[in-house]
Amino acid sequence: MKSWPIFFVELAVTAAIVYIGVSQKSILFIGGERSAVIVLGIVGMLFCLISVGKFIAVPAHPGSILGYLFGSLAMLIFLVQVFHWDLPLITAPRIALYALAFCLLAMGLIARLASPVIK
């Protein structure tokens, strides 16, 4: 997918949710870092729906495999925060928020850069 404006929207929305979560401001239903991780996880799943069609056609492509890895890590981070699992490094909501944001932006970037290869 060669739609860079969508990536910039993903970047802006992710940055806004991270800022709201880290600054401890209460906007809508984001009241802290943990709730920001949960909201970002849900929004990230919606972002992934935008790019998934191209990668289903070529499941063994290196870009697809990287997307699977980042997506699995993002899902794990999301589930750790939802169910209060005790896993090292991603139990802390602030670290989980930054890690989830990185995973989502990495998947969006992979989807945009892999478009010339995957048709």
pLDDT at res. 72: 92
pLDDT at res. 27: 85
pLDDT at res. 25: 80
- Tokens representing 89? 């490094």
Q: Could you list the mean pLDDT of each consecutive 10-residue stretch along the chain, which spans 119 residues?
A: 80 92 84 90 88 71 85 93 88 93 90 67
33: left (phi over 0), alpha (psi -120 to 50) or beta: alpha
Q: How many Å apart are CA 32 and CA 60, to the nearest integer?
A: 38
Is the pTM higher than 0.85? The answer reads yes
Contact yes or no for 98/18 (Cβ under 8 A): yes
pLDDT at res. 88: 85
pLDDT at res. 36: 92
